[in-house]
Each structure stands twice: as structure tokens, then as C-alpha cells.
Amino acid sequence: MKLKVCGMHHNPKDVAQLQPDYLGFIFWEPSTRYFDGDMPDLPKSIKKVGVFVDESVTKIIYKIMSHKLDSVQLHGTESAKYCQALRDVILENEIGEDNFERIQFDIIKVFSIKDDFDFSVLEAYEASCDYFMFDTKGKLPGGNGYTFDWNILKEYPSTKPYFLSGGIGLEEMDSLLAFLESPASKQCYAIDVNSRFEVKPGLKSIEQLEKFKKLLLN
């Protein structure tokens, strides 16, 4: 099981020492966790995820290039056509005279769930996205601090791996481990955490994250 810690702002280097698989940086300006600084030097084993909400493709490409992002997380109402347009962009680095290498990045499309969800909407996104993410529907695009009913994922029809997000904290560990033992978690690829591990927005509790990671992976 992979671990993604999102909402990096004040102490990403400290979080990186815990060696999560992904670190998320939010590029949606209204967020209290909005990241506008210099990207820290991180181990290559940690994938940098840029989180966007209904942003232009041009702006996303700029952020990919300037921050060397490995993944793009789309947390708004982005259509399947939009995702395909982003997928079709060809980015290259010059590594020598007349020698270029393709810049690869994953696309994670987020879908918010409250009481139920129409999984048929996923079909249109299958070809253009590498992963899905299921988060709790709330007032904000993310970081609302509470979970949805994971039993809904029993109806998940796809073989595409997904991230589980939405208000996951230490208090949910027993129910989370039980979920991960259930058939509903068959395609669950990663756990995404954020607000429940914060001292304040963008400042993570290293002690709590370390405890969570040990419980999750042991």
C-alpha cells in the first residue's frame, strides 16, 4: 500500500524523511495550504504531486516544468475531454545536442462522494487518467476533515487503481485496516492523508504521520 501526504507547505523536508511514496503540493490559490515557494530538494523515490482545481492546461504545464512534478491531481470539475487534452501534451527535456527525453507525468482524477456515487461517470476517464481518487464531498475541493462511507466502493467497476482520501486520521486506523482486508479495496493503490495530521494548515505532525505509516504498512 502506498502513502500520499498532501497539503505540503511549512515542513515538506521533515515529512520527506518519513519516506512516503507521494507528497502533494496544492496550487489552488484559495487554499490555506497553497504552495507558492521553491520546491524543496526531495529524494527521487518520492513522487511530487501538483494539486489543481479547474486550472488551465497551460498553467499546469508551467507548474510541471518549473517544479518537476511527477503527477497531476485534478480536484475540480475537469471533463474527460480536458484530461485527454492534458494527456496529449508532449513535454521534453533537452539532454544533449539534438537529443531530447520525454517528460512523463501521471494524471490522478478526483471524484467526491457523499452518500452515494454514480460509477458510470468513470468510464469516460478510463483512457486519459492513470489513477482515480475518491474523496469526501464537502464545502472545499479537499481537506474537509471527514470520511465518506467506504462501503460504497464495493460497487467500484474498474480495474484502474485508486487513491482513498477524505478525513483519514489515526482514529480511523481500525476501520481503515478492516476496509483494506475487504474485497472493496481490491483496486485501492494508495492512502491519501492531509488535514487530520496537521498542527495548522500546511504544517504536519511528524510524530502522528510516523505512527500512521507504521500501522498502515506493518
pLDDT tens figures, 48-98: 999 999 999 999 999 999 999 999 999 999 999 999 999 998 787 766 666
* pTM of model > 0.85: yes
Contact 208, 170 (CB under 8 A): yes
Q: Which CATH number covers residue 166?
A: 3.20.20.70
Task: Return the pLDDT at 144.
Answer: 55
Contact 76, 54 (CB under 8 A): yes
Q: How confident is the model at residue 175 (pLDDT cuts 50, 70, 90)?
A: very high
> Residue 201, CB half-sphere, CA atoms under 13 Å: how many?
12
Mean pLDDT of 128-153: 82
- pLDDT over 70 for what percent of the chain? 94
The domain total for the chain is 1
Residue 143 structural domain? 2-217
Q: What are phi and psi of 114, to 5 degrees?
A: -115, -85
Task: Return the pLDDT at 48.
Answer: 97
**Separation between Cα atoms, residue 115 and residue 28, nearest integer Å:** 26
Does pLDDT of 218 surpass 90?
A: no
Task: Return the pLDDT at 114.
Answer: 84
